[in-house]
Copies of this chain bind each other. A is one copy, B any other.
Amino acid sequence: MSRKVQFIPGGTVTTPAGFQAGATFAGIKTYAQDKLDMGLLYSTSPCTCAAVFTTNRIQSPSVVLSRERVQRGSVRAAVVNSGIANVLVGEHGHKDALEMGDLAAKSLGLLSEEMAVLSTGIIGVELPMALIRAAVPKIELAESGGNAFARAIMTTDTHPKEAAVAYEHGGRTVTIGGVVKGSGMIHPNMATMLAFLGTDAPVEAAFLQKAVKESADRSFNMITIDGDSSTNDTVLLLANGAAGGAVIDEGSEESSLFQEALTQLSEHLAKEVVRDGEGASKLFEVIIQGALSDEEARMAARTVASSSLVKTAVYGSDPNWGRIIAALGRSGAAVEEDKLALYVSDVCIMEDGLPVPFFKDSVVLLMKSPEVSFRIHLNLGKGAATAWGCDLSEGYVTINSAYTT
């Protein structure tokens, strides 16, 4: 981690200059302790926008609408509800997404095209538009509204997840903040991960899109709770330039620093999601080194992190290297058995493809901590990647099977 990038204590999506947010209770969300269920996020000045969306073939009409508007470059604010995902509801879904955006645009004095519209919650239920019509105008915006917004997007999350980072460059401070929700997965069909990021850096739109994709690929796309991906997943980033300075584009001296700060923030928020995974008692990271390519390293890291047998071994604090290597072997990445090395929380337990005699009690003890690391060196090339997962407990099964629609 560069010392140039600093986390800001208490930071959130409204920490960067020129962002306001607010939330209210519309009466949509019925199952969470914190009942805020509608939120607005707003850049007080025009901005560039970028986003990555779910690749699921079944997508919420809200995602379809927001993608169009982000691609057009017109988004400056977002309206979001939790409790109902607005997906698989037929014709109504598109109309409701449009109207929800229009209501928010009117309330903010913006054009419809300036609103991103996002939803998270139960699949197959129509949005209660009467409640939404009543609620949107009641949302009050404030520069301190980031926390309320973070709470309003929660579904089965046990706590709001928010952070901000800053760096100094060219005599001014640039801040990037964000909030994220999901995917607790305790409720069915509520796997959605939504991340809202804002920055006061002035960023050229094409580079902003590249930067958000790059950071998502190293963070939000490298976490796994149970392998199910959602119909609504979205990472949205607005950049309003309120910090001043020259516009950052791909050729800028500042571009790599901005990318680093964005990736650090995204990684932090992504790990928060995994830590809050349903039934999870531990976060574990899978670091792959020495792969033929970064892409192969990513495949390997994700496969090991999502293996049910690895996840149950982590839950049981079992340094079960056979499960790890077997998962590695089926990942599709090139692997040569006699070159493999494996480290559990930095203790080498396999070298040259053979188990190293290790003091088991001490490795079990290491695995009992809330964060466990598996580092695998393939010794084939320079590809590297890290994925994060959570353990698989009886709690996950109980909660996901006890619920009925």
Contacts and interface: CB of A to CB of B under 8 A. Distances in A.
Interface of A: 55-59, 88-90, 122-124, 185, 188-189, 191, 226-231, 306-309, 312-313, 315-323, 325-331, 333-335, 337-338, 352-355, 360, 364, 392-394, 396-398, 400-405
B228 A397 contact: no
B364 A334 contact: no
A202 B352 CA distance: 46
Contact of A318 (B58, B306, B404): B404
B400 A397 contact: no
Contact of A320 (B308, B328, B405): B405
Given A316-B401, A329-B231, A308 B188 contact: no
Contacts of A330: 55-57, 228-229
25 contacts: A55-B330, A56-B326, A57-B333, A58-B337, A88-B353, A90-B353, A123-B325, A124-B321, A188-B320, A188-B322, A188-B323, A228-B323, A229-B326, A230-B326, A231-B329, A309-B400, A312-B396, A312-B397, A313-B400, A315-B401, A316-B401, A318-B401, A320-B404, A393-B401, A396-B397
B316 A404 contact: yes
Nearest to A400: B312
B405 A322 contact: yes
A58 B325 contact: yes
Number of copies: 2
B403 A398 contact: no
Main secondary structure of the interface of A (DSSP, over half): loop
Given A226-B308, A307-B227, A338-B90, A189 B322 contact: yes
Contacts of A320: 188-189, 404-405
Given A188-B309, A191-B326, 15 more contacts: A57-B330, A57-B334, A58-B337, A88-B354, A188-B313, A188-B322, A189-B326, A226-B309, A227-B227, A228-B308, A231-B326, A312-B397, A313-B400, A318-B404, A322-B405
A228 B401 contact: no
Contacts of A316: 400-404
A323 B405 CA distance: 11
A224 to B, nearest CB: 11
Contacts of A360: 405
A403 to B, nearest CB: 7
Contacts of A228: 307-309, 323, 326-327, 330
Contacts of A393: 397, 401
A266 B311 CA distance: 31
